[in-house]
Structure 1
Amino acid sequence: MKPFVVAGLAALGVATVWLGLNDKAVMNLLILVMLYAYWGIAWNLAAGTTGLMSLGHALFAGTGAYTVAYLYSAYGLSPWLSAPVGVALAALQALFIGVLCFRFRVRGHYFGLLTLACAEIAYLSVGASQPLGRSDGLSLDFSHWGWGYLQFREKWPYALMAGILLVSVLLLCRYLLARRVGYYWRALRDNEEAAEALGIPAMRYKLAAITISAMLTALGGAFYAQYISFVDPRSVLGLDLSVQILVFCIVGGMRSLWGPILGAALLLPLGEGVRLVLGTSLPGAPLVLYALILIVVAIVLPQGLSSLRLFQRRDQAAADVAPSPATGSSA
């Protein structure tokens, strides 16, 4: 991305934060944009870079969210201690799914459907679990204010944490993509048989991709639970969350690390605007809007908004983290 574009986005971000300090709605939107962009980058590490098109990443986000909520509600455990537990559980889930799929060479759309099935199983199981609040969910009754329990009356500390998460995942993914593991992931994405013929252990590196992606997603889920102070199956395990993450990435562009940020920054404010205008008269209006925009982008810009000249980076090799959704491999 060109320097003046980065400077412009930074200035816009600073202005938004300044306005948000005096407007809780703006600050809330900023936090959600950064969180969904974070989730999108984490998802894209598996889907865009390695071709593992997951349709059930809400499973990992929900695992992180419910772990934090349950351990605090039941045992008063600080998120500094419970979040790593949620991340570890998500890693185990990803390893289970990965071994199950890769051992039997489940690929492409079938991999996506299997992840979707796992997320739906978790959705139904949590909805029937009494300790987890069934479909009513769990509320976090804040009483330990401060950084020790990450409980704040103001929104700016959450915005700071969301920004740290977003910058950290950007730096991590950029580092990984520039190393051998990143080249191996792209080789497996483009032609798994050829990569294996060259000696790349496909199962090992695909497991690494889905596991790292799941762990990052679970960490975002833990933050979400702490920020919203409430979790229920629909909000953190439902299909809506998985679809939103996927759509934000495709609209923004899966060829660039900046794609999920562009997608979230465009679609989330539009969706919230539609929600405010229509209220409860049409609950699914934001998803309908996302679908319409996705159709337009798929026709006009198959590689997403990041393929526009305005957002083109000089280092194209570093920017290439995914194939075109229309032509690339899906596993």
Structure 2
Amino acid sequence: MNQFQIRLAQAGDQDGLNKLIRSPGVKWFGNIRPKFRGKDSLFHSYQTYRILALCTESSALVAYAEFRNYPSIAALPTDCWLEWLSTRYCLSMSISWLNALFFNFCIYKSEHSTVLVEIIKDVLYRESRVWFLIAVRIPYMPQPIHFVETFDDLEKISKVFYPLEYSMDKNNNTQSLYIVDRFVLLPRISYRKALAEDNDDIIAMQEVENPEMREELGDYYIAEEVMGQNPKSMLVVAETINQSEQSEMAIFLWLSSDIDIMFYVRNYQMEQFGNLVKPADGRSFHYETMTVSSVQRRAEASMFTADALEDLDAVTILGGLQKVDSAWPAWVR
């Protein structure tokens, strides 16, 4: 079981976040000063992601983090950070607008320092194009202890870069960057078509969730499917590199073009997906009318009135047999 539950922060979490910021024994980095203005200021500025972490065992709030597509530097225009990086730093990686996010703020309880890695992984899973997370550390200046940043835990999983003007002897109190590389925390994944030789590994993976498939189809149904060369079927596997530098199967996909589109259009709301069809340029098409079950849309607020509850009792099994309100035609190209 996962030690932490990671999710996006919501407006209802403001009270808990306000208590976490004022809790003793917390570590943090970023600009914490605006957070002390009260809970109404927590969500005042734009952030790409606001992530919080709950302890799975106790459901207690243990961490909160903010990520954005530009750094939290007041004097730097939001669209000039790439020029700022290339001018002030000599970086060993290629950073662009698309592959980087800035880790602008994080606060977590000191006894749960491992939550930092889990939060970063969650963001990287959400953003498949992001390769680097960048945290900016400002030069040291004397200030009250509750405003002092802590980068010790972040430094363990990142590389530290200093500006070009940095000098150990003459100028060692400068700005610095902590850059987390995606592929240090997450393994690289490669995809390929499944082979008959993958039969045992794939069946062992599927047997964990669907043991009945092996009982019904036998011990070699994957190899038989691959060797059958079904034009409507494609089997794909994904491999990762383990600590021993050996590839191991991590994902298996069984794709099929043999789909009953009418079934899904009749029973599910597929309008936002173009009813699963796409016209081909230069080819003729026709319309087909069908009747699908639907319900009358209502405002959310109206679902909790006394009249709505009486209607619910009247049309469900509590007050009688359930009824279908209406039927509307659906158009398919």
Q: Assess same fold via TM > 0.5.
A: no
Structure having the larger proportion of residues in helix: 1
TM-score, normalising length: structure 2: 0.19
TM-score, normalising length: structure 1: 0.19
Structure with max Cα Rg: 2
